[in-house]
Amino acid sequence: MRVVNGDQMREADRRTIQEIGVPSAVLMENAGRRVVSAMEAAFDRLDEARVAVLAGRGNNGGDGFVIARVLWQDGIDVQVFIVGTAADIRGDARLNLDILARLGLDVIEVQTAQDWERYGGEVLRRDLIVDALFGTGLTAPLAGLAETIALDLNASAVPVVAVDLPSGLSADDPEPIGPVIEAVLTVTFGAPKLSLMLPPGEDVAGSVVVADIGIPPSVIDGLPGPRIEGVLAEDVRPLVAARPPDAHKGHFGHALIVAGSRGRTGAAHLGAVAALRSGAGLVTVATPASCLPIVASMGAEYMTAALEELPDGTVSRAAAAAVIGGEHDVVAAGPGLGTGADQAALVLALLEQSTAPLVLDADALTVASAHPAALRGTPDRPVVITPHPGEMARLAGLSVADVQRQRLTVARTFAVGHGLHVILKGYRTLIATPEGVVYINPTGNPGMATGGSGDVLTGMVAGWLAQGLDVTAACLLAVYLHGAAGDLAASDLGEAAMTAGDIVSHLGAATLELASGGAGARRAS
User: Up-side HSE of residue 224: CA atoms within 13 Å toward CB?
Assistant: 3
How many domains does the structure of the chain reveal?
Answer: 2
Mean pLDDT rounded to a whole number for the chain: 96
Residue 321 maps to a domain: yes
**The pLDDT of residue 216:** 97
Q: Is the pLDDT of residue 524 over 80?
A: no
At 53, the pLDDT band (50, 70, 90 cuts) reads: very high
Residue type, 215: I
Check whether residue 366 and residue 310 sit in a common domain.
yes
Check whether residue 166 and residue 312 sit in a common domain.
no
Among 226, 243, 269, identify where a domain stops: 226
Q: pLDDT tens for residues 427-475? A: 999 999 999 999 999 999 999 999 999 999 999 999 999 999 999 999 9
CA distances from 139 to 31, 125, 168, 372, 507 (A): 22, 30, 9, 37, 43
Separation of alpha carbons 270 and 119, rounded Å: 61
Check whether residue 192 and residue 258 sit in a common domain.
no
At 137, the pLDDT band (50, 70, 90 cuts) reads: confident
Range of the domain at 414: 252-524
Q: Residue 318: give its domain's CATH number.
A: 3.40.1190.20
Residue type, 113: A
Q: Is the pLDDT of residue 519 over 60?
A: no
Q: Comparing C-alpha atoms, which of 241, 263, 262 is closest to residue 252?
A: 241
Residue 237 maps to a domain: no
**The pLDDT of residue 517:** 86
Residue 243 maps to a domain: no
CB 298 within 8 A of CB 265: yes
Residue 231 maps to a domain: no
Residue 241 maps to a domain: no
Check whether residue 257 and residue 213 sit in a common domain.
no
**The pLDDT of residue 101:** 96
Among 226, 243, 275, identify where a domain stops: 226
Separation of alpha carbons 299 and 301, rounded Å: 6
Residue 50 maps to a domain: yes
Name, in order, each residue with C-beta under 8 angstroms of 172's C-beta and a sequence gap of 6 or more.
5, 6, 7, 194, 195
Chain centroid offset of residue 483 CA: 11
Q: Is the pLDDT of residue 521 over 60?
A: no
Q: Cis ω on the peptide bond leading into residue 238 (within 30° of 0)?
A: no
Residue 477 maps to a domain: yes
Chain centroid offset of residue 1 CA: 11
Name, in order, each residue with C-beta under 8 angstroms of 254's C-beta and a sequence gap of 6 or more.
280, 281, 282, 283, 284, 327, 328, 329, 466
Check whether residue 106 and residue 18 sit in a common domain.
yes
Check whether residue 222 and residue 264 sit in a common domain.
no
Task: Tell how strand 160-163 and strand 421-424 pair up.
Answer: unpaired
Q: To the nearest whole percent, how much of the chain has pLDDT over 90?
A: 94
Task: Tell how strand 383-385 and strand 438-440 pair up.
Answer: unpaired
Check whether residue 305 and residue 198 sit in a common domain.
no
Q: How does DSSP classify residue 309? A: B
Collapsing DSSP to helix, strand or coil, 354 comes out as coil
Task: Please compute the mean of the pLDDT values over residues 230-245 and round it to a whole number.
Answer: 94
Separation of alpha carbons 476 and 484, rounded Å: 12
Check whether residue 190 and residue 268 sit in a common domain.
no
Name, in order, each residue with C-beta under 8 angstroms of 279's C-beta and a sequence gap of 6 or more.
252, 463, 464, 467
Name, in order, each residue with C-beta under 8 angstroms of 444's C-beta and a sequence gap of 6 or more.
427, 429, 482, 483, 486, 487
Check whether residue 365 and residue 484 sit in a common domain.
yes
Check whether residue 138 and residue 221 sit in a common domain.
yes
Q: pLDDT tens for residues 100-119? A: 999 999 899 999 999 999 99
Check whether residue 63 and residue 6 sit in a common domain.
yes
Separation of alpha carbons 63 and 57, rounded Å: 10
**The pLDDT of residue 525:** 38
Collapsing DSSP to helix, strand or coil, 304 comes out as strand
Name, in order, each residue with C-beta under 8 angstroms of 33's C-beta and a sequence gap of 6 or more.
66, 70
Collapsing DSSP to helix, strand or coil, 47 comes out as helix
Radius of gyration over alpha carbons of the chain, in Å? Answer: 27
Q: pLDDT tens for residues 338-354? A: 999 999 999 999 999 99
Q: Cis ω on the peptide bond leading into residue 141 (within 30° of 0)?
A: no
∠ CA 391-484-490 to the nearest 5 degrees? 90
Helices (H) and strands (E) in the chain, counts: 21, 18
Check whether residue 280 and residue 395 sit in a common domain.
yes
Separation of alpha carbons 34 and 187, rounded Å: 8
CB 448 within 8 A of CB 498: yes
Chain centroid offset of residue 407 CA: 11
Q: Comparing C-alpha atoms, which of 108, 32, 114 is closest to residue 73?
A: 32
**The pLDDT of residue 138:** 85
Q: Residue 63: give its domain's CATH number.
A: 3.40.50.10260
